[in-house]
Amino acid sequence: MSDKNKYTIRKLSPYFCAEIRGIDLNGPLDDELIKSIRSDLEAHEVLVFPEQDLTSEDLMRLGRYFGPLTVHPFAENSEKNPELIVFDYKDGNPPVLTDRWHSDETYKLCPPMATMLYSRIVPEIGGDTCFSSMTTAYDFLSTKTQDFIRGLEAVHDFASYKYLFPDTEKGRQLLQRKELEYPPIAHPVVRIHPSTQKKTLFVNPHYTRYIKNMDQRDSDALLAQLFNATSVLEYQYRHQWKPKMLVMWDNRSVQHAAVHDYYPHHRYMERITVGGDKPISETEPTTVEQLRKFKVPTYDHNDSRRAKRQFEIES
């Protein structure tokens, strides 16, 4: 590495997360440096850059070094720059939704590869962000459980945002438009990281609804078990913010949750999101025959002997 691109890196937790000092992110950055940061991001999953003086334009330019920025369909996007999300939470504008464990936007066909969050105003106390390594969570599952969940697919959707749409004709139309744009999507439960080839547990309680083809009772029980992995203290890192910190996380391998304990105090953050790939698995999807034993045949849309339901009867 050339001298101008050298920086120091310090691990923040035994399994993941590192702090980087010694570089300014607000200027033009060359390929060598970006490659090195990308490699550290993939290795450490969360990178913390303290004392960075960034404008919103700097933040967006920085993100674009790692890939195209995406627009969040439900967030408080900046009017001028839709790729920029502004979290300006204070008295009268409480934080919503971000306090559940999740990876960002997994209801999309191609969820983001990385998210960058930058702090401008932080409360004196509270307002931490918690991270949990899903690579570590997968590694520490028993071999039996790893074997069982390999090949499973889980369905993700944006149902947790539905209440943001008012129960008016306009609100229902807007919701319907979003439902057409973002239909429920199946992702592998065990995802292969496209760069490190490590396996990560890719289900989260915010967006994951059920295991495809599995009986609902079994699916609920299995998801509860897998969601619980985020709560294992050893897999976690809890980040305390100071102003002018940039935190970048690999959205393919960690989950995060914001702590809303600071309300009504002021917390002003900016976020950008870098587009990612369609999650892939190392195996073929498990079939319905491998997952269930049916007491009676399943509902068949095409069976002409089946009684018609009211919505199917043409007038």
> Which residues does the annotation mark as catalytic?
102, 104, 256, 271
Contact by Cβ (8 Å): 199, 138: yes
CA-nearest of 238, 241, 275 to 124 is 241
* Shortest Cβ 22–Fe ion spacing (Å): 28
Cβ proximity to Fe ion: between 56 and 160 the closer is 160
Helix, strand, coil percentages in the chain from 3-state DSSP, rounded to 5:
25, 25, 50
Q: Which of 253, 236, 238, 229 is nearest to 111 (CA)?
A: 253
Site for Fe ion, residues 94 to 113, rule: CB under 5 A: 104
Q: How far is the CB of 251 from Fe ion (least distance, A)?
A: 8
As a whole number of angstroms, the distance between CA 179 and CA 182 comes to 5
> Closer CB to Fe ion, residue 34 or residue 130?
130
Pick the closer one to Fe ion by CB: 15 or 207.
Answer: 207
Question: Which residue from 103, 106, 127 is spatially nearest to 115, judged by alpha carbons?
Answer: 103
Does the footprint of Fe ion cover residue 270 (CB under 5 A)? no
Q: Is the peptide bond before 264 cis (omega within 30 degrees of 0)?
A: yes
Size, binding site for Fe ion by CB under 5 A? 1
| Phi, psi angles (nearest 5°) of residue 208 | -85, 125
Minimum Å gap between C-beta 131 and Fe ion is 11
What is the C-alpha to C-alpha distance for residues 184 and 208, in angstroms, rounded to an integer? 10
Kindly give the residue spans of alpha helices, DSSP state H, lying in the chain: 31-44, 56-64, 134-139, 143-149, 169-181, 216-227, 288-291
Minimum distance from CB of 312 to Fe ion (Å)?
A: 40
List the structure tokens of 208: 């994951």
Binding mask 60-99 for Fe ion (x = CB under 5 A): ----------------------------------------
* Least distance between Fe ion and beta carbon 41 (Å): 16
Taking a C-beta distance cutoff of 8 angstroms, is the pair 196, 273 a contact?
Answer: no
Distance of closest approach, residue 82 Cβ to Fe ion, in angstroms: 17
Q: Which residue is nearest to Fe ion (CB)?
A: 104
Binding site for Fe ion (CB under 5 A): 104
